[in-house]
A and B are shown apart, each in its own frame.
Chain A
Amino acid sequence: MIRCDEVTKIFRKNGSEVTSLDRFTAKVADGEFVAVRGPSGSGKTTLLLTLGGMQRPSAGSVHLAGRDLYALSPAERARLRSSEIGFVFQMFHLVPYLDLLANVLLACPGEPSAEVRQRAGRLMDELGLADRASHRPGELSAGERQRLAVARALLNRPKLILADEPTGNLDPENAAEVIRHLTEFHRGGGTVVLVTHGTVTDAHADRTLRLEQGRLVDN
């Protein structure tokens, strides 16, 4: 599913260089649930955004489903993200002025068909948000917001979910709920890469990678 070869990302700020990823090399198989652990500033989020085609590495290559991600044009990468990748972020990143259903449907490329709307409704139902469809994100609890973000990530039946600290802002009960949904997606054949600095996912992940100062120290 994913192959990273010597991926390096260097940020330049105020004349100095910070290496966020340092020759990161790893593979994630189809249908695998991989947790990426590491302390703050270890490059976890950079890795996730690079895997998602959101951040071009300074060196190295990322292959997704056999395609060299950064050899694609920005438009092709955007299409790939839309069709094959679902994102879940720690801060949810919901659009505050759209109702919940519209937030889920935002993932749909173009005008959503009746079938897509039905699917969005079903997902909201499965995630316990069906009766809040016309509410706005500001009216939800943190747990509900993250479940909404999961519903949005799942709408296009992605092959891969990239989750960045999805439980970081949640209480244990809601964190477990979100992990349960990601696990269900994984059981259905989906690939999950989840970055975290905690251990909450250890029991669910097939494998855990450890990052320190941008380097893979444990695979």
Chain B
Amino acid sequence: MSVWSHILGELSFRKLNALFSLLGLAMAVTVVVASQLLAEADERETRRVTRDMGFNLRLIPAETDLGQFYRDGFSRHAMDVSMLDRLATQLTNNVSFNHLVGSLRREYTVNGQDILLVGLSETYVAPGQGKKPMGFVIEKGTIHIGSQVALVQKKKKNDTMNVGVRRFAVANDPIETGTPDDITIFVRLEDAQSVLGLAAKINEIEAIDCLCLTADQDPLAILRKEIGGILPEVQVVHQRTLADARAKQRQTREKVNQFVLPSVLVAGAVWVALLAVFNVRDRRQEIGILRALGKGGERIAVLFLGKAVFLGLVAAVIGAALGTLAVLEFGPSLFPVTKKAIQASWPLAGAVWVATPVFAALASFIPAMLAVSHDPAETLRED
């Protein structure tokens, strides 16, 4: 009689115990899978939302007077665009900043209207973090205009418009933002350099800090030390409120995850272990007769641990499916911005399929050892 047919026979005989064990494990797996997928979705959403909140790190030429900078919103000094390249080559997952965009900002007059002309470089991101740029991409020969510019110049999407001596196509449907963007014309960096006669120059590098540090940890000092080591020619301006809000959001999420996952695992383990103890008690006579028939402790242990492994495997399949389905069903309403990125994770399912049987076996280990060490004579004497 094979061990597996023995285990399957017992499972079908003690259906309630098997069902409750399976339910407990499947619920734990469902919560783990769902929380993991939701945590990933939350991470994406947070990243996207905070990214959409804009850059919080501004690197400007060292000689800039901060009074002038805050008054005008940009530095009147310029720096070489090669500084952007220098910083971009240092982008790794170990530095505290990411999403670098070089920009050149100046006042400019178009057909008698005073506007802000902003040239934007492409976005530089750390390797392996995707290439999706911040904000929008400016195609060659196009510009993005603010709502006030559109109103005064009477321009809409696909119209053409002269900036300096060059003609561009309007690429956006201008909407009112209530910010200086309404009086801004965004162009490609090289176009701004050409229009302003500042070849190979920028006056700012914008970035997002990657530190999930709160104000008390002095992130500015860390950023200044890190960036200053690469670009001593810049001043680092950190928009602290934005950075703190983002850090707090991340930290709160991490704390929740740190609580949920261990709680679910402990509850699942206790549940499985308790049911396994009841199972051992129910099967004392069986253990006694197996011993009397000369079966060793290994066989008894395999019967209990094998059962746990089998239940763990079935629970893993059910739980991974349920957890994934739940997230696919409810995730999009929780994370509307990044809902398209919510999908099943085969690596996670694979990990759960391997880990759950091991977890179930570990939870059943003590009960299994109780079964092995059970004195068969005690039961057999009870006749």
A residues apposed to B, CB below 8 Å: 45-46, 49, 52, 54-55, 74-75, 78-83, 87, 89-91, 93-98, 102, 105-109, 111-112, 152, 164-165, 168
CB-CB under 8 A for A78 and B291, given A54-B376, A55-B377, A93-B285: yes
Partner of B383, one of A90, A95, A98: A90
Assess the A75–B292 pair: CB atoms within 8 A: no
Assess the B294–A109 pair: CB atoms within 8 A: yes
Assess the A106–B291 pair: CB atoms within 8 A: no
Interchain residue pairs with CB less than 8 A apart (23): A45-B381, A45-B383, A46-B381, A49-B377, A49-B381, A54-B291, A55-B377, A74-B296, A74-B297, A75-B296, A78-B295, A81-B293, A91-B285, A91-B383, A96-B13, A97-B14, A102-B9, A106-B290, A107-B293, A111-B1, A111-B2, A112-B1, A164-B383
Residue numbers in B under 8 Å from A108 (CB-CB): 1
Q: Quick one: which of B265-298 are within 8 Å of A by CB?
A: 285-286, 288-297
Assess the B1–A105 pair: CB atoms within 8 A: yes
Flag whether B230 is at the interface (Cβ < 8 A): no
Known: A46-B381, A93-B289. 10 other contacts (CB 8 A): A54-B377, A74-B297, A93-B380, A94-B289, A97-B14, A102-B5, A105-B1, A106-B293, A111-B1, A112-B1
Complex CA distance for A27 and B291, rounded to whole angstroms: 25
Complex CA distance for A93 and B290, rounded to whole angstroms: 9
Residue numbers in A under 8 Å from B381 (CB-CB): 45-46, 49
Q: Quick one: which of B122-165 are within 8 Å of A by CB?
A: none
Assess the A54–B6 pair: CB atoms within 8 A: no
Complex CA distance for A95 and B285, rounded to whole angstroms: 9
Assess the A87–B292 pair: CB atoms within 8 A: yes
Residue numbers in B under 8 Å from A45 (CB-CB): 380-381, 383
Complex CA distance for A78 and B299, rounded to whole angstroms: 12
Complex CA distance for A87 and B293, rounded to whole angstroms: 8
Assess the B380–A89 pair: CB atoms within 8 A: yes
Complex CA distance for A74 and B294, rounded to whole angstroms: 10
Residue numbers in B under 8 Å from A89 (CB-CB): 289, 380, 383
Residue numbers in B under 8 Å from A52 (CB-CB): 292
B170 to chain A, nearest CB (A): 78
Complex CA distance for A52 and B296, rounded to whole angstroms: 15
Complex CA distance for A94 and B289, rounded to whole angstroms: 8
Complex CA distance for A102 and B295, rounded to whole angstroms: 15
Residue numbers in B under 8 Å from A107 (CB-CB): 293-294
Residue numbers in B under 8 Å from A78 (CB-CB): 291, 294-296
Residue numbers in B under 8 Å from A74 (CB-CB): 296-297
Assess the A98–B294 pair: CB atoms within 8 A: no
Flag whether B173 is at the interface (Cβ < 8 A): no
Flag whether B12 is at the interface (Cβ < 8 A): yes
Sort A-B residue pairs by CB-CB distance and give the 7 closest, nearest first.
Answer: A82-B294, A97-B13, A93-B289, A55-B377, A81-B294, A97-B9, A90-B383
Residue numbers in B under 8 Å from A49 (CB-CB): 377, 380-381
Scoring B14, B285, B292 by chain A CB atoms within 10 A of each residue's CB, the highest score goes to: B292
Assess the B10–A79 pair: CB atoms within 8 A: no
Residue numbers in A under 8 Å from B291 (CB-CB): 54, 78
CB-CB under 8 A for A82 and B293, given A89-B383, A91-B285, A165-B383: yes
Residue numbers in B under 8 Å from A98 (CB-CB): 1, 6, 9
A117 to chain B, nearest CB (A): 10
A52 to chain B, nearest CB (A): 7
Complex CA distance for A164 and B382, rounded to whole angstroms: 11
Q: Quick one: which of B341-383 are within 8 Å of A by CB?
A: 376-377, 380-381, 383
Residue numbers in A under 8 Å from B377 (CB-CB): 49, 54-55
Chain A, residue nearest B379 (CB): A93
Residue numbers in A under 8 Å from B292 (CB-CB): 52, 54, 81, 87, 93
A75 to chain B, nearest CB (A): 6
Interface string of B311-337 (1 = CB under 8 A from A): 000000000000000000000000000
A198 to chain B, nearest CB (A): 15
Chain B, residue nearest A97 (CB): B13
Q: Quick one: which of B1-35 are within 8 Å of A by CB?
A: 1-2, 5-6, 9-10, 12-14
Residue numbers in A under 8 Å from B9 (CB-CB): 97-98, 102
Complex CA distance for A165 and B137, rounded to whole angstroms: 91
Chain A, residue nearest B292 (CB): A87
Assess the B294–A83 pair: CB atoms within 8 A: yes
Chain A, residue nearest B9 (CB): A97
B21 to chain A, nearest CB (A): 16
